[in-house]
């Protein structure tokens, strides 16, 4: 039996830059974008804003667009992830690089998780992301009217 998990992913941009992060304590997790599992009965638009804040600490984020959804199998866990991708805008002048701790990570570890957050340049400066995290980058590029390599 496969368990369906509803997830939200946030492509947060500041100008032509995309926010990504690594886990200093879990380097094997790779480079990711803010994301998380939806809570029962929570609206996906509200959920992506909550997850983005919890994982980045950034205030003043604005929801710009829903980019789409896809299903991503995770057979080693017996799960299927229904992933919803959103574009969020970061106003103001955020730091270039910073660390943030999520105190209630939800699934997985019970200790706070440290994120090393940094900006990469769109369209072609985005590193290889963890599996499935780059699924809607082409739609983001189209929305932002950017040209570059397809991934």
Interatomic CA distance for residues 142 and 151, integer angstroms: 13
Q: pLDDT at position 107, please? A: 61
Residue 83 lies in a domain: yes
Structural domain boundaries, residue 58: 3-143
Q: Does residue 18 register a pLDDT over 70?
A: yes
Q: Does residue 148 register a pLDDT over 80?
A: no
Residue 10 lies in a domain: yes
Residue 80 lies in a domain: yes
Residue 34 lies in a domain: yes
Residue 150 lies in a domain: no
* pLDDT tens string 44-94: 999 999 999 999 999 989 999 999 999 999 999 999 999 999 999 999 899
Q: How many domains does the structure of the chain reveal?
A: 1
Q: What is the CATH number of the domain that holds 13?
A: 3.90.79.10
């Amino acid at each position: 039996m496969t368990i369906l998990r509803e997830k939200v992913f946030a492509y947060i941009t500041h100008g032509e830059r995309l926010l990504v992060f690594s886990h200093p304590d879990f380097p094997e997790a790779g480079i990711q974008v803010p994301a998380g599992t939806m809570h029962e009965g929570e609206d996906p638009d509200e959920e992506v804003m909550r997850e983005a804040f919890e994982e980045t600490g950034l205030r003043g984020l604005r929801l710009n667009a829903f980019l789409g959804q896809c299903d991503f199998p995770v057979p080693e866990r017996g799960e299927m992830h229904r992933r919803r991708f959103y574009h969020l805008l970061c106003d103001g002048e955020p730091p270039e690089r910073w660390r943030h701790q999520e105190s209630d990570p939800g699934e997985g570890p019970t200790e706070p998780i440290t994120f090393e957050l940094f900006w990469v340049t769109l369209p072609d400066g985005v590193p290889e992301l963890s599996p499935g995290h780059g699924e809607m980058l082409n739609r983001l590029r189209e929305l932002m009217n950017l040209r570059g390599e397809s991934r």
